[in-house]
Amino acid sequence: MAEQWQTESLLARAPRPADHDGYLDLFLDPAIGARLRPAPLSPFTEAEILGMLIGDEAHWDEHGFGAWTLLARESGELVGRGGLRWTELADGRAVELPWAIASAHWNRGLATEAARAAVGWAQELRLPEAVALILAGNGPSRRVAEKAGLKLDGEATHAGLPHLIYRWRLLPRGRPKHNRNSFST
């Protein structure tokens, strides 16, 4: 599977150790923290962010796909994180579409562009489904999920907080599909 994708505005590639400072800038941004980790949770720590980067790299090594580092095509600046990765839900494992765009780049359609590319990638991988886990109060992310073709499909507790589950399915309901826990590359 290709470790790099291009969209109109973004270069999406597998993360690497050199992305450490970009990950710190992204996840220590108070606006990102308010959307992804609101009170009463504490903001991300540098150790947690480094763990996220290492985990993203390991996910690629283990599964042949994972979260992307999102770079602005014109400048090469790290502007976010997107892609696909396994996550745990109460009813089992699911492939998640995580996205976070640096607040300096909000309202430019980059999150929607990244989410749509991730859905396209899920189709190419022939995944039966993918989910986005979104805090109910995060209206912008809810709109991104809807623009990317995901549909509201329930609720779950994730990372200690109640989230809405937005789901994308490759196969329509009622047709046999592969066990989502058995996918591997």
4-169 has CATH 3.40.630.30 classification? yes
Buried b (16+ CB within 10 A) or exposed e, 97-108: bbbbbbeebeee
Per-residue confidence (pLDDT) for residue 112, from 0 to 100: 97
Query: Would you kindly state where each structural domain of the chain is located, as residue ranges?
Result: 4-169
Residues of the chain with pLDDT below 70 are: 1-3, 171-185
Q: What is the pLDDT of residues 1-34, one digit of tens each?
A: 456 889 999 999 999 999 999 999 999 999 999 9
d(CA 142, CA 146): 6
Per-residue confidence (pLDDT) for residue 131, from 0 to 100: 96
Per-residue confidence (pLDDT) for residue 171, from 0 to 100: 60
Per-residue confidence (pLDDT) for residue 170, from 0 to 100: 79
Q: Output the pTM of the full model.
A: 0.86
